[in-house]
Structure 1
């Protein structure tokens, strides 16, 4: 169901995002690093890192709040430029109530040899939009 939700997002399809883990308060979103996702200095554009964090946060929150969720807000700190072959956003619920969850996300660049380099750290609030 989570993969179907991701595939229903036109922008996620455009950049080739995929869920590699989902459940138990966590979610991991990955995408291949391509030249058309770079900024002028050859690094992955910050907007792509922010997108990955946003979606990973929301999917992680959805594991505890249910599928009807939206990001209420997020902050992101860029710690180093992203280069490599894969961008990986690994999110985990820090605290959850009935209607909202606080979620943390590490955004990592993965090299050919599988080495992960931390590129950004994000924290966000995921809100349930259930109508019941």
Structure 2
């Protein structure tokens, strides 16, 4: 599944622009990471909230896709718990519930420095299956 997920990620130009990497893609779970760069930070020196939010959104969508197939986010929310300061951001998402056409997923985003991870955001979203276009 991981190689298939990496192929899908390679077709997302915005993900490529940010430098996002798919680390885990298994039934019911996904993990994405992003190396922090100065151009992804806000004026106080930590990751811009939009970057953290995007990482959470994409991660919950990958988790949903692991059980639904082709899908999109229909809604999600993000709670920021501390500034995202670190060398890398890591998002880990799991499917909490899945039906035939919809999944509810959660995601936790961490800022990572060396071997230390700090929780920076928590997200909850609804992912809907889409029919082939």
Which category describes the TM-score, using the shorter chain as reference length?
A: over 0.9
SS in 1 for 2:62: helix
Aligned to 1:25: 28
Ranges in structure 2 where 5+ consecutive residues have no aligned partner: none
Where in structure 2 are the equivalents of 1:28-39 lying within 5 Å?
28-39=31-42
1:110 to 109, 112, 123: 112
Aligned to 2:71: 69
Aligned to 2:129: 128
Shift of 1:24: 1.8
**Are 1:93 and 2:95 an aligned pair?**
yes
SS in 2 for 1:52: helix
* Cα distance in 1, alignment partners of residues 88 and 42 from structure 2: 16
Could you state the TM-score of these two structures normalised by the residue count of structure 1? 0.96
Ranges in structure 1 where 5+ consecutive residues have no aligned partner: none
Shift of 1:100: 0.3
Aligned-residue Cα RMSD (Å) equals 0.7
**Structure 1 ranges of 4+ moved more than 6 A:** none
* Cα distance in 2, alignment partners of residues 24 and 99 from structure 1: 16
* Cα distance in 2, alignment partners of residues 77 and 8 from structure 1: 28
- Matched length: 129
Residue by residue over 1:39-72, the C-alpha shift from the partner in whole angstroms, topping out at 9 and shown as x without a partner, is 0000100000000000000000001101x10001
Shift of 1:35: 0.8
* Cα distance in 2, alignment partners of residues 83 and 35 from structure 1: 11
